[in-house]
Structure 1
Amino acid sequence: MRAVWKARRRKPLSLKYGSADIADRILSGRMWEGMTAEMLRDSWGDPTHVRRQLHKTRTTEIWRYVRTGRTRLGNRIIIENGVVVGFEHP
């Protein structure tokens, strides 16, 4: 069933991002520095928590995924001006 779902999503993602390779990386759940926030959302879904910091020349967002405890979150993704620049996996 998952293979059918992936096949249905692959073509629209390939057209959206202009590359079958990027579509495959998104569908496999991979994350990399340089991917856009939109690609990350297409790959991992909406984050559990977002913290935004506004600076003079850039906007930094920290997206958190996966609740690890009542008040703890894991998978910290750092996004500057809409592009992933770093991440931490607990």
Structure 2
Amino acid sequence: MKHLIFTLLVFSALQLQAQEISKENLPDSVTINFNDAPIRSTPDNLSGAIFRVKYGTKAPLLDIVNDHLKVRINNQIGYVSQAFVDKTPPLKEYFDQYKAYKSEQQRLSRVREEEIRDSTYQENLKLQDAKLKATREARKSEMIKKYGPTNGDKILRGVIWIGMTEAMLLDSWGSPDEINRTVTANLVSKQYVYPNYQYVYVENGKVTAFQD
């Protein structure tokens, strides 16, 4: 969480830095170096062109917004991409600074996204751990209440023993893969078949033998 807060602070500082990139010594005018260059209504490449100008057109420079230059041509004001103008040394220096700023901003955005994902992942882990702990505590309480502290502890540890009840066996090892049942006049016997060839024998509701 501390890392995330730090990244957000740095990100905010970079946004302020973008406003502070020096616009001193910028030229009063710029020269278009692309034929039919679009002049747009807003400083982005998605807005439509309000008009186009020829190669070599000179235009007064009013401002720079992101990577677009605000210019006046034939008494109309619009924005032209920095890709379509000659880069005098002051302009080149400005856009080099802007490019470095954008690169760092993108890097920090990726870091921030990763930290948010990591923070969410850690929170989910904590929730899962809390649920698992609550489930274990509930089962522990149930087994001790049902069978007493000694037998309840054995069952929680997955222990089986001769003389335990069939219900204890099921609470300790769970349901078997298979049950082979035999009924005689005086006896009901069962063979519980568990994974890895483990067999438990139950007669009249109590464990009489097991193989492991």
Q: Same fold by TM (over 0.5)?
A: yes
CA RMSD of aligned residues (A): 1.4
Q: How far apart, CA to CA, are the structure 2 residues paired with 1:32 and 1:6?
A: 22
Q: Which of 173, 184, 192 matches 1:55?
A: 184
Confirm whether residue 75 of structure 1 aligns to residue 195 of structure 2.
no
Aligned to 2:136: 6
Q: How far apart, CA to CA, are the structure 2 residues paired with 1:79 and 1:48?
A: 15
Percent of paired sites with the same residue: 31
The amino acid across from 1:76 in the alignment is Y
Question: Unmatched 5+ residue regions in structure 2?
Answer: 1-128
Deviation track 1:32-58 (CA, whole Å, cap 9, x = no partner) reads 001111111111110000000001111
Moved over 3 A (4+): none
From the two aligned structures, give the one with the greater strand fraction.
1
Aligned to 1:30: 159
- Secondary structure at 1:35 match in 2: coil
Does the 8 A contact of 1:10 with 1:20 survive in 2?
no
Q: How far apart, CA to CA, are the structure 2 residues paired with 1:81 and 1:6?
A: 31
Structure of higher RCO (CA pairs closer than 8 Å, 6+ residues apart)? 1
The amino acid across from 2:142 in the alignment is P
> Which of these two proteins has the greater Rg computed from alpha carbons?
2
Normalised TM-score (structure 1) = 0.83
Aligned to 2:6: none
Normalised TM-score (structure 2) = 0.36
Question: Unmatched 5+ residue regions in structure 1?
Answer: 69-73
